[in-house]
Amino acid sequence: MKIAFHEIIGAEVTREISDDGWFPHDDMTLAGTLDGHLSISKKSDAEALVTGRLQALVELPCDRCCRLVKTALSADFEYDCVVGKEDPHTGIDTECREEDCCRIYINEPVIDLGEILREQVYLALPVQVLCRQSCKGLCHQCGADLNNESCSCSSSDLSSPFAVLRQLKGK
Ligand SMILES: [Zn+2]
Ligand SMILES: [Zn+2]
């Protein structure tokens, strides 16, 4: 999913996200809708602006019990794509400090829209994934899913290395 600067004709060109070839299938499972819209406008022969919106339903493992949880991701983004290299002398980019606007440098006047979308998927991932707030997780010792069963492992100081030692000794 790429667009070359010479394909940007008129005020702006829009693209609907119709394929998922760019989607990071190795890292997560697409569980439903993948919806997106991109508009690309040319500011000069060496600079183009990409704005877009992405919505996806993915499956991510619960941080505690590893059960897959359907999670809706959504992102609004804006990228300023500049042909060339970042000038190390100008240092901090003062024009574009807002979090939602990123400047990226490209070697040739071709924008890889898939790369932008992929980055947005990762940025949209929640900090914590839980199947439910009260998820009890898996037992650190026997791996039992404590949401469904209780195990006979000692529930005290599971994370302590001494607990592990005690268990080894008891064998
Ligand atoms: Zn869980
Ligand atoms: Zn256990």
Residue 147 neighbours by CB distance under 10 Å: 16
Q: Compute the distance between CA of residue 12 and CA of residue 39 in angstroms, rounded to an integer.
A: 6
CA-wise closest residue to 122 among 87, 77, 152:
77
Identify whether the C-beta of residue 136 lies closer than 8 Å to the C-beta of residue 43: no
Which one of the ligands is nearest to 142 CA? 2
Whole-model pTM: value is 0.77
Q: Return the H-helix or E-strand segment holding 68.
A: strand 68-83
State the average pLDDT over residues 141-161: 80
Which one of the ligands is nearest to 151 CA? 2
pLDDT, one tens digit per residue, over 48-77 is 999 999 999 999 999 999 999 999 999 999
Cα–ligand 1 centroid distance for 64 (angstroms): 5
83-87, 140-144, 158-162: range with lowest mean pLDDT: 158-162
Which one of the ligands is nearest to 148 CA? 1
Cα–ligand 2 centroid distance for 158 (angstroms): 10
Residue type present at position 25: H
Residue type present at position 32: G
Average confidence score pLDDT of the chain: 87
pLDDT, one tens digit per residue, over 98-127 is 554 688 999 999 999 999 999 999 999 999
